[in-house]
């Protein structure tokens, strides 16, 4: 199958429990109340824009979020806050993770004086496990991939009376993932004065990473809700070896790809898309594409060794995925028609989100030390 899918979105927000929660939530107000809160930086990469012949390139840098090196704290903290509003007696929160989400749940639970239990896939690196344990959580490695870890986390939570805080929605489990998606909205709200004024956005194309789809759904819902059909074009990027959203669009239904799930983009190493995210993605994504690991590594190096006076950006493997997709579009003759489809030109204003910093320090060093 092709490594991309040109979608025909209807730009219509279908009402559901998820969209009702998104409409009513004000996660930014909550996050502003937390110790250490500050908006993450927005970098303008003028020289990179000139290199690729576009008008401007912006990078929202979540590597600085709450000292956790990733955006995931936005979703986990807001979800746990809302859970405890409903039942302050909850004692233990549980989740499955490839790294960043589990650390965010552990951090958020500790902040609330609660316990956290985290299940990780068997190939999770020791650095990511230690980072979760540092936040006070109990970590258990399971035999299998992310989807298997999610099943075990759900089953164990039900057995022990723990509260599952998972960032993927499935049958009879929608409310908490919706709070997590609401939490992610903070990063887009922070850009309102600069890039998201009323009426028409100041960017033309937004590249968003895809794992189970919750982060992508957050961005798509934000732009659809704010601008409707006048929203920027949205391109979703996921690993070639874990392209669940791309595979699902090609198949016409949520499904798990028959792939190795062996990718350096650990935070995006997911199979079956989140049920609620899937509906939002179908309504508002223009292109979904997958990229090989070598392109993610190339994007990491380009950000770490910037051209001329562009700022240095510490982007982890998943954090650089959006830029990897852009590089794929601009440097591959096979994707020239996608550039035309998105109308990428000398005036295009493009936004990326660096969703994580060096969350696996050794791997980051190994990749960025070579040029």
What phi and psi, each to the nearest 5 degrees, are found at residue 194? Answer: -95, -45
Q: Where do we find the tokens 């994007």?
A: 299
Residues 6+ apart with CB under 8 A from 309: 46, 47
Q: How far is CA 236 from CA 195, 203, 247, 273, 290, in A?
A: 19, 16, 13, 13, 8
Q: Between β-strands 115-120 and 138-141, what pairing exists: parallel, antiparallel or unpaired?
A: parallel
Give the Cα separation of 76 and 179 in Å (integer).
Answer: 8
**Active-site option among 61, 69, 98, 204:** 98
Give the Cα separation of 348 and 220 in Å (integer).
Answer: 19
Are 88 and 197 in contact, with CB atoms under 8 Å apart?
A: no
Give the Cα separation of 72 and 355 in Å (integer).
Answer: 8
Residues 6+ apart with CB under 8 A from 345: 54, 55
**Active-site option among 69, 72, 163, 233:** 72
147 is catalytic: no
Q: Between β-strands 233-239 and 287-291, what pairing exists: parallel, antiparallel or unpaired?
A: parallel
Q: Given phi > 0 = left and psi -120 to 50 = alpha, else beta, which region is 334?
A: alpha
98 is catalytic: yes
Q: Which residues are marked as active site?
A: 72, 98
């Amino acid at each position: 199958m092709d490594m991309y899918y040109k979608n025909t979105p209807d730009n219509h927000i279908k009402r559901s429990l998820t969209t009702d929660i998104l409409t009513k939530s004000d996660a930014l107000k909550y996050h502003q109340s937390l110790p250490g809160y500050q908006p993450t930086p927005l970098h303008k990469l003028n020289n990179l824009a000139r290199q690729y012949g576009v008008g401007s390139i912006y990078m929202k840098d979540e590597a600085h979020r709450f000292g956790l090196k990733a955006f995931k704290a936005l979703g986990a903290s807001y979800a746990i806050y809302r859970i405890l509003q409903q039942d302050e007696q909850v004692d233990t929160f549980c989740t499955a993770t490839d790294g960043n989400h589990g650390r965010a749940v552990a951090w958020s639970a500790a902040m609330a004086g609660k316990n956290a239990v985290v299940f990780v896939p068997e190939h999770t690196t020791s650095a990511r496990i230690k980072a979760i344990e540092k936040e006070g959580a109990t970590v258990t490695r399971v035999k299998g991939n992310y989807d298997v870890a999610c099943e075990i986390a759900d089953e164990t939570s039900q057995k022990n009376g723990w509260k599952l805080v998972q960032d993927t929605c499935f049958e009879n489990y929608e409310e908490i993932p919706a709070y997590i998606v609401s939490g992610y909205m903070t990063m887009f709200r922070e850009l309102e004065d600069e890039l998201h004024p009323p009426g028409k956005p100041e960017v033309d194309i937004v590249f968003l990473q895809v794992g189970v789809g919750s982060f992508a759904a957050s961005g798509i819902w934000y732009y659809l809700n704010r601008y409707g059909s006048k929203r920027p074009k949205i391109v979703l990027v996921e690993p070639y070896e874990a392209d669940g959203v791309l595979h699902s669009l090609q198949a016409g239904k949520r499904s798990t790809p028959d792939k190795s799930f062996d990718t350096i983009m650990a935070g995006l190493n997911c199979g079956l898309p989140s049920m609620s995210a899937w509906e939002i993605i179908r309504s508002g994504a223009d292109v979904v594409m997958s990229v090989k690991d070598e392109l993610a590594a190339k994007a990491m190096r380009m950000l770490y060794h910037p051209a001329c006076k562009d700022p240095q950006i510490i982007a982890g493997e998943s954090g650089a995925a959006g830029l990897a997709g852009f590089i794929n579009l601009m440097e591959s003759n096979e994707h020239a028609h996608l550039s035309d489809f998105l109308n990428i030109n000398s005036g295009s204003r493009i936004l990326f989100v660096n969703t994580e910093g060096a969350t696996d320090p050794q791997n980051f060093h190994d990749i960025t030390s070579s040029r």
